[in-house]
Chain A
């Protein structure tokens, strides 16, 4: 099936029906392997067993940023190309991104308390991720409170594109400012600074979270297409009455 055909919501629903069971199965298998590897990973020489929190915290952090980047592409699709699935994708991704950002913040706090002696500090990395979470809530508020869906979609698309400025700030905050948060140790020039015995479980858990994200996104997009069909039919019924 050519990629352009997926612009048709009915064809997209057919793709979802075929792909979702396989994606859900792959996600479950990846999590089963990842969790076994995470629980059997050795303790860190400095952080002890708390390094196990990293297997949740880091994938959630990566996906919270990836999700916003994806929403930014979708926002361009809404504003520039008026792609029929672009707004569906952005609206479906926003709650998933918000939940993953919340997970990143909470697991980070639970990791910070035993390692730093505090749940929270207003350093650049933590604050910029909190701003990302607030931006997600702003996008959701625009979608949920707009009286006309197309107006909400345009407003959300503008906020998403403005909020994309925060992504490089999050990424480079640990380089640009003195932060309590540690600098990059996986995605950095010169290769990972993490031992393979800890890096491998992290990468498998990141793959599991990515598969979960794709599965949830497709399912949420399918639901959004159905919601729009319901709305169109309800309006048709109201016109006839």
Chain B
């Protein structure tokens, strides 16, 4: 690796900012996914079902 020269502080700061932004985005999608899954699990445990999951009424001929 080459030396970062007299402006090393600016280069390191730019890479640190990029790392922070990328890590923040990854954390956001992971935490949001677990939060939505938890909420879905809670609702299903309370017996709430989506319309597509509910049993269709049986119509006798």
A interface, CB within 8 angstroms of B:
10, 39-43, 48-50, 52-53, 56-57, 60, 95-96, 99-100, 102-103, 106-107, 110-111, 113-114, 212, 216, 219-220, 222-223, 226-227, 229-230, 232-234, 236-237
Contacts and interface: CB of A to CB of B under 8 A. Distances in A.
Nearest to B42: A230
Contact of B11 (A50, A103, A216, A229): A50
B7 A114 contact: yes
Contacts of B10: 50, 53, 110-111, 113-114
A70 B18 CA distance: 22
A12 B9 CA distance: 44
Nearest to A217: B29
B6 to A, nearest CB: 8
A212 B22 contact: yes
A99 B17 contact: no
B25 A57 contact: no
Contacts of A110: 10-11, 13-14, 17
Interface in B1-55: 1-8, 10-11, 13-15, 17-18, 21-22, 24-26, 28-30, 32-33, 36-37, 39-40, 43, 46, 48-52
A223 B31 CA distance: 10
Contacts of A57: 14
A107 B17 contact: yes
A230 B43 contact: yes
B11 A53 contact: yes
A107 to B, nearest CB: 4
Contact of A227 (B22, B25, B30, B36): B36
8 contacts: A53-B14, A107-B17, A110-B17, A219-B33, A223-B32, A229-B50, A233-B40, A233-B48
B17 A219 contact: no
B13 to A, nearest CB: 5
A234 B44 CA distance: 10
A148 to B, nearest CB: 20
A107 B12 CA distance: 10
Contacts of B51: 232, 236
A49 B7 contact: yes
Given A95-B28, A236-B51, 9 more contacts: A10-B52, A49-B2, A110-B14, A111-B10, A216-B25, A222-B33, A223-B36, A229-B50, A233-B40
